[in-house]
Structure 1
Amino acid sequence: MTKTSAQIVVIDDHRVVGLGVKAAFEDHGADASISWAPTVREAWWKRGQVAILDLRLADGSAPDKNIAYINGYGIPVVVYTSGDDPYLVRRAIAGGALSIIRKTAPPDDLVEAVLAAAEGITFPTPDWAAALDADEDFVAEHLSDLEAHILAHYASGASSASVARALSVSKNTVNTYIARIRDKYRESGRPAESRVDLFRRAAEDGLVSYYD
């Protein structure tokens, strides 16, 4: 039986991740040539490769820009992440990542995702996709565009007066909308009584990032 071969470039702050990927392929019975780099610009790219990309790199680069850079070489991207920031995950999806795999997922999931990406196919992960959809649905179904914009500004630390100036509304309007947003989160079973709570909810729903 001929082993499936893959040429993989691992982009992660930690070189040991590359060793873990190699072990996963060996356990799966798939042959893989693996290289590692800490940033997308330090890697050597050629057609036929598949990139495994961490969302958060020490250079502070944005996931969507990293994916666009790699895709520019005709190389598909599988994101390998702890999944702790839905905002960054959505940026990766919007940027063109073929699959999103949690680092807590079974190693075979990563292998299958990489082999699928080599064929230009997305490897679906229904549980993670469902979690993202649920977060997106809250904003789409429960918040108006103005409420979403007010929440994004206010949760990021802006004062009511600053939000009002930025969005050309009154300070009273901002305060009324913030109270309304809190009510909606409370009714959905996700209370957000403090500003910190609001920030967490906004980050969970992809309106702000934990790391911006």
Structure 2
Amino acid sequence: MTGETIRVFVVDDHEVVRLGLRAFLGATPGIEVVGEAADGRSALQDLDALAARDALPDVVLMDLVMPEPDGVATTALVKKAHPAVDVVVVTSFGEAHRVQGALEAGATGYVLKDAEVDEIVEAIRAAHRGEVHLDAAVARVLTRSLVAPRRGVAALTARERDVLVLVAEGRSNREIGRMLSIGERTVQTHLGNVLMKLELSSRTQAALWAVREGLVRL
């Protein structure tokens, strides 16, 4: 890849950010900005048009918070339609759930907008080399989230979640046992674990929690 020009496409709903990135990257040796878009829908359309001309970029710089659709959904759609294109997220948001969402969608880099501009270039080059580049602050947040105790739905086993959903649907322990092919005492044990893990005190609270979290619809 030595001496190869990396083609970059910029997606951000703020014009000043797009202009700044174009200006900086355009003056960076070995990088060529081949297009830009202000939202996810336009980005997908433009990338399809570039693909039709066999002119896809190597790397897409992707903002997260933008319309039609957001950056995580757009990243997933880009990777589905154009698997060879790498996506590097450049955003103001470094919360663990956003980082995890972007990486799960297929991003190979995550840089905060307040990082040094040279780091964006390094993230682009790393992605082109097939490497994952995380902003140092983002890496710390992600590491803390990985070592922190799991909470909410993530803390439940698959069977505990099954029991919770059936409780929220108004099923009795006997019905749940029959549906899951387990004994009523086992159902009661799973429900007790659910209440403990979610810090709830009753079957009714568990049912309301499941509805609120979207596990079931009444």
In structure 1, which of residues 127, 133, 149 is the aligned counterpart of residue 143 of structure 2?
133
The answer for the alignment partner of 1:70 in structure 2 is 78
**Matching residue's letter, 2:77:** Y
2:10–2:33 CA contact under 8 A, matched in 1: no
1:24–1:111 CA contact under 8 A, matched in 2: no
Tell me: CA distance 1:41–1:25, structure 2 relative to 1, closer, same or farther (3 Å). closer
Report the Cα offset of residue 86 of structure 1: 2.3
Structure with the greater alpha carbon radius of gyration: 2
The answer for the alignment partner of 1:58 in structure 2 is 67
TM-score normalised per structure 1: 0.62
Report the Cα offset of residue 36 of structure 1: 1.0
Report the Cα offset of residue 76 of structure 1: 0.6
* CA distance in 2 between partners of 1:78 and 1:110 (Å): 9
SS at match of 2:90: strand
Report the Cα offset of residue 173 of structure 1: 6.7
1:9–1:36 CA contact under 8 A, matched in 2: yes
* CA distance in 2 between partners of 1:108 and 1:166 (Å): 54
Larger relative contact order (C-alpha < 8 A, sep ≥ 6)? 1
Identical residues among aligned pairs (%): 23
* CA distance in 1 between partners of 2:166 and 2:148 (Å): 22
Output one character per residue of 1:63-109: Cα deviation in whole Å (capped at 9) or x when no partner: 1x422322232211101111244222211111221110011111110
* CA distance in 2 between partners of 1:107 and 1:87 (Å): 24
**Matching residue's letter, 2:11:** I
Report the Cα offset of residue 33 of structure 1: 2.4
Output one character per residue of 1:94-141: Cα deviation in whole Å (capped at 9) or x when no partner: 122111001111111001111222232223434421211211211359
Structure 2 alignment gaps of length 5 or more? 171-175, 177-186, 201-212, 214-218
RMSD of aligned Cα (Å): 4.1
Structure 1 alignment gaps of length 5 or more? 151-160, 181-206, 208-212
Q: How many residues align?
A: 171
* 71-80 or 4-13, larger mean C-alpha shift: 4-13
